[in-house]
Structure 1
Amino acid sequence: METNEQINALCRQFKITAMASCLPQVIADSEKLSSGYRDFFLALLKQEAELRLKNEIARRRKAARLPLKNDLGAYDKKAENGLTPTRINQLRELNWLDQGFNLMLLGPSGTGKTFLAAGLAADAVDKGYKAYFKTMEDLTGILKLKDLTRTAAAEYKRILRADLIILDDIMLFPVEKSVAVSLFNFVNQVYEQTSFIITTNKMPTEWAKMLDDEVLATALLDRLLFRCDIINLSGKSYRMKNRQSFFEHQK
């Protein structure tokens, strides 16, 4: 067996696949630069580290279950929703997450709440945080089934260990009493060590009506708003403003 084949086989055996794939290029670069053994070995290790980091970020992004559109680099800076590019950049620095603060993105449908929340979650994942994106429907399903199925129980345990939880479209519909109580118990369990991004089109004063319990709504908001920035998004729906027609594409 040739030397390169032996190296590739050993790399696969020890699961250092980046070294195997980049070996010819690193050898060529080292010969061109007349690199020493240490520089050559360092170059191989850097390639392996880069691939492992890339794979780890991909794994965390998959686990976070983010919406497909989550790249804030593509955010429409001309969108008239009351959020300036400077404010977006400040949010993307994640200082609020480092310090354990929550964000509440408040505004009508189509003003960019979900996209902004997903983008900030993607930034957090890329920087090493454990983040999970859940719609209100997703979370209520988990809360209902966590004591009944292994899948829901495992998912519940995962989100309990999250650094950041996104609750999308919270209070969009009225919440039944048992689910409201489970939601409060969940938030009460994690709010001191976990940050939230909440998107909603309901003012906090309307939550009591959606929960049909003013005391429970007050207790829930007390925990979510204790360390929280409320960001009001306004304007017309981006989707409706940029509505597309099938027939226009046929012209």
Structure 2
Amino acid sequence: MSQYIPQIKKHATRLRLSGIGSNITNLLLEAQNDAPSYDEFVFKLFSHEVKEREAKQQLLRMKLARLPVNHDLEQYDHSFTSGLNPTQLNQLRELNWLDQCYNIMLTGPSGTGKTYISAGLGFDAVQRGYKAYFRNISDILSTLRLKDVSQNAAKEFKRLAEAQLIIIDDVMTLPVNREDGNRFFVFINQVYETTSFIITTNKSPAEWARSLDDETLATALLDRFLYKCQLIQLKGKSYRMQNRKTIFENEKN
């Protein structure tokens, strides 16, 4: 094999071409067997690097998205809920709404698939190369509180501020104090024109006002979320309760 390989690897490391550096031996062997033209070989060389980088970026996007374990919409069971039929779900999965900066608000009782659907759409977005993040409302509020005093929170805030899709789970499930509510509004007001949101909630607009203890603030938040938004009301029994797990054998739900 070529005496230049060690030096090629050093140069690749220096130039941060890890895909080429780690695979140069195999790439040269293939070239010896296939005898490509010079331009074809260079094309294959850099195509390999691009492919490796895209794979690493995909893994990083998935890690930062922090999706729940269950998010495969191919396995979504429509028999447990109503409000979103297979055709509508497939239309949402095309992500045209995301390109147009629309929001989705999923409402309904616990266990009707709000989190599952939102996480699945988030997974589709990550797979397509979008910057998408799944956070519950407590995560968001914690980041907003700490962004000026914590480096990790500052990095997280920057990610969220530059996101193309933010999924916020369980909005207004618990009361939010006025200071946190104001921080949340300032953030949403900052990004809502350039970022799409998927909101899951089991609270009505009137209950948002009670959770925030501020009707004006609740109205302002809803105004921004609902300006360009598809509302989806899910109904049905809890999937988790219908498929309750047990440690005892032969015990029925």
Q: What count of residue pairs does the alignment treat as equivalent? A: 248
- Whether the 8 Å contact between 1:164 and 1:194 is mirrored in structure 2 is yes
Give CA-to-partner distance per residue, 1:75-123, whole Å, 9 cap, x none: 3244432222322221111111111110001111122211221222222
Determine whether 1:66 maps to 2:54: no
SS at match of 1:248: coil
Amino acid at match of 1:156: F
Which consecutive residues of structure 2, in runs of 5 or more, have no partner in the other structure? none
Aligned equivalents of 2:86 and 2:219: distance in 1? 33
Give the drift of 1:170: 0.3
Determine whether 1:242 maps to 2:226: no
Aligned equivalents of 1:8 and 1:189: distance in 2? 45
- Whether the 8 Å contact between 1:188 and 1:223 is mirrored in structure 2 is yes
Q: Which residue of 1 aligns with 2:53?
A: 52
Report sequence identity in percent. 48
Aligned equivalents of 2:44 and 2:3: distance in 1? 22
Q: Which residue of 2 aligns with 1:136?
A: 137
Most deviating of 75-84 and 216-225: 75-84
Amino acid at match of 1:71: D
Most deviating of 21-30 and 81-90: 21-30
Q: Which residue of 2 aligns with 1:81?
A: 81
Distance 1:6 1:94, change over 3 A: same
Q: Which residue of 1 aligns with 2:185?
A: 184
SS at match of 1:133: strand
Aligned equivalents of 1:145 and 1:115: distance in 2? 29
CA RMSD, Structure 1 to Structure 2 (Å): 2.3
Most deviating of 3-12 and 182-191: 3-12
Give the drift of 1:231: 1.2
Aligned equivalents of 2:21 and 2:229: distance in 1? 48
Which consecutive residues of structure 1, in runs of 5 or more, have no partner in the other structure? none
Determine whether 1:92 maps to 2:110: no
Give the drift of 1:28: 4.5
- The TM-score with structure 1 as length reference comes to 0.87
Q: Which residue of 2 aligns with 1:173?
A: 174
Q: Which residue of 2 aligns with 1:212?
A: 213
Query: What does residue range 29-48 of structure 1 map to in structure 2 within 5 Å?
Result: 29-48=30-49
- The TM-score with structure 2 as length reference comes to 0.87
